[in-house]
Structure 1
Amino acid sequence: MTAAAETVPGAAAPAAPPPVLGRVRRRTVAAFLAPAVIALLAVGIVPLIYAVWRSLYDFNLTRVARTRFVGLDNYATVLTDPTFWAAMRRTAFLFVTAVPVQIALGLLIALLLHRPGLGMAKALTRLALVLPMATTYAVVGLLAQVTMNQRYGVFNQMLGWVGLGPVNILGNPQNAFWAVVFWDVWQWTPFVALVLLAGLSTVPPEVEEAARLETRSHWTILRHVQLPFLIPSLVAVLILRTADTLKLFDMVFTMTRGGPGNATEFIAILIERTGNRQFNIGMASAQAIVLLVITIVLARLYVRLFYRET
């Protein structure tokens, strides 16, 4: 049955908005969207286009006059560069050691805060959880330097209280890597906890209450009742933490500058060294674009894994 046939006999058809009013609405929408579109172009699209363009050139700041178009040669060099893949392996190892711990601890905190009857304690705990993630990466790196200094750091002073000698943390390659893992977990576990707590708030209370009447097993309730509602939050956490780990720079640079040796030279540190210390802007741009493609592929894999897309 058509719309005309469904119209009540004798009722007047709704009048179309005047053309002038339609133009005013379109202009209003455009005015509200313009700042966001301009900001996106300025900080996202334009720099990305510029990076792609520079990645096609042999562009070094020490010999700008000899800049030449090389096509995909920079990408071929990056994909066959053992230094690039060594940095990617270190970054991947950082991810698989830090992020699962963040998710496990964050889920535990979220489940504890999700319990009924906490009242003001829940609000104060949420406020406290914001503080580490509100601290900038560079400040966290400086905090790590101060607390883990071999001579006057708080960590070594605490070891001295139990009769253990000072430990060279940031000057030892193995220790420096695990120090980065520790501070990354410290900073971003609260973020994971807050996101998962928001996911738990979407579970219907009556469903949870019925499940608690059926079983006392917290694991059963988590697996069969709460976890299905946590899937979107877990996907968001994985995508955001993957992107953050792949571009981790500020904290590591202020802590170790990628050292000692290359123990903490993650992929973002390598890109910075290539561009800012070796002045090879073309190669650094190619490395950054390859990193962007890897991030997009991983994000897509997470979505397919959790939502079983075909």
Structure 2
Amino acid sequence: MASSAMHARGPRKPTRYFGILPRSPAFWFLIPAIAALAIIGIYPLLLALYNSFHQYKLADLGSGTPFIGVDNYVATLTDPTFWEALGRTALFLCLTLPIEIALGLFAALLLHRMELPWLRAAARVSLVIPMATTYAVVGLIGRLIFNRQFGVANYLTGLIGIPPQDWLADPTLAFVSVMIMDIWQWTPFCALILLAGLSMVPKEAEEAARLETPKWSMILWHLQRPYLLPGLTAILILRSADMLKMFDAVFTMTRGGPGAATEFISVYIQRVGFRLFDQGMASAQAIILLILTIVLSRLYIRFVYREAA
């Protein structure tokens, strides 16, 4: 009788203080996270958006920060150096991300077929180590590996008869060096995400498919692919966003050089904002980069995740 009366009254509404704030403990536990998000994320974004519509030069603060409308955006879109840096970043993304996904898929398939539980657990732990390494440390490791005098890269290439190369002083080799370090750090991330997708495949279906055909490519395409597509979408979104804002490892390893060979868009924005001291222009460039990231993420969801659904 009491339960029927409770269902008739509907769900109980949370008690409120002063008619505004809910009394639920969950709300008060969320307040620190909301405050941190507002301070660390929302406020800098709003400040950058505000600065992008103003003339804000750190070297000339005496003249104030007058409102100039969309002049910073027009100057950015007509700046050939900006487009060169963006094109260089797009080239890096188009070359590096497919390699990371391919190697990650290969590693995920090996781990998925691995029979020994302890060996599988050890392999998973070892995959976390590169991901846990900070970007700045990855850049320092890259400087040591590709050093001309004592780098491991020249030692390994010397084993096959290739003379020592000045990796970080040659534009093409410097670009390739940054690619290699990024592939080393983030291929394990792709492998773990794809391995999680493979673990969702029903074992009975896999066993039946192996009885039907011995070709692993047929099993991958027809059975495992639908389970991999959601994880693949997450990889594309997260890694594309990371590559578009990639700064620490590149700046530590090459400083954007030699010349502008590794001056990606984030390095160029840093140069405009903190070497040319034009915060307004740098803010406009950062907002444009944010818009490009959102558009790219929506395209991934539209064309990759929709197929998975």
Q: TM-score normalized by structure 2?
A: 0.92
Name whichever of 254-263 and 64-73 sits farther off.
Answer: 64-73
2:5 counterpart letter in structure 1: A
Flag the 1:113–1:64 CA change in 2: closer, same or farther, 3 A: same
Instruction: Verify: 1:53 aligned to 2:50, yes or no.
Output: yes
1: CA distance between counterparts of 2:156 and 2:12? Answer: 75
**Aligned partner (choices 66, 75, 86) of residue 88 of structure 1:** 86
Alignment of 1:135-284 (within 5 A): 135-284=133-282
1: CA distance between counterparts of 2:3 and 2:259? Answer: 82
1:222 counterpart letter in structure 2: L
Q: Could you list the runs of 5+ residues in structure 2 that have no partner in the other structure?
A: none
Instruction: Verify: 1:35 aligned to 2:27, yes or no.
Output: no
Flag the 1:14–1:93 CA change in 2: closer, same or farther, 3 A: same
| Alignment deviations for residues 67-126 of structure 1 (CA, whole Å, 9 cap, x no partner) | 211111101111111111100100000001100000000000001100151221101110
* Cα distance, 1:160 vs structure 2: 3.9
**Aligned partner (choices 5, 12, 16) of residue 13 of structure 1:** 5
2: CA distance between counterparts of 1:255 and 1:72? Answer: 35
Q: Could you list the runs of 5+ residues in structure 1 that have no partner in the other structure?
A: 1-7
2: CA distance between counterparts of 1:49 and 1:281? Answer: 14
Name whichever of 153-162 and 111-120 sits farther off.
Answer: 153-162
Name whichever of 243-252 and 114-123 sits farther off.
Answer: 114-123
Identity %: 53
2: CA distance between counterparts of 1:251 and 1:274? Answer: 19
Flag the 1:13–1:133 CA change in 2: closer, same or farther, 3 A: same
* Cα distance, 1:30 vs structure 2: 1.4
Flag the 1:20–1:186 CA change in 2: closer, same or farther, 3 A: closer
Q: How many residues align?
A: 301
Q: Aligned to 2:29, what secondary structure does the other structure show?
A: helix
* Cα distance, 1:199 vs structure 2: 1.0
**Corresponding residue of 1:300:** 298
* Cα distance, 1:162 vs structure 2: 4.6
Flag the 1:14–1:79 CA change in 2: closer, same or farther, 3 A: same
2: CA distance between counterparts of 1:111 and 1:11? Answer: 52
2: CA distance between counterparts of 1:202 and 1:294? Answer: 32
2: CA distance between counterparts of 1:254 and 1:151? Answer: 19
Instruction: Verify: 1:69 aligned to 2:56, yes or no.
Output: no
1: CA distance between counterparts of 2:74 and 2:11? Answer: 58
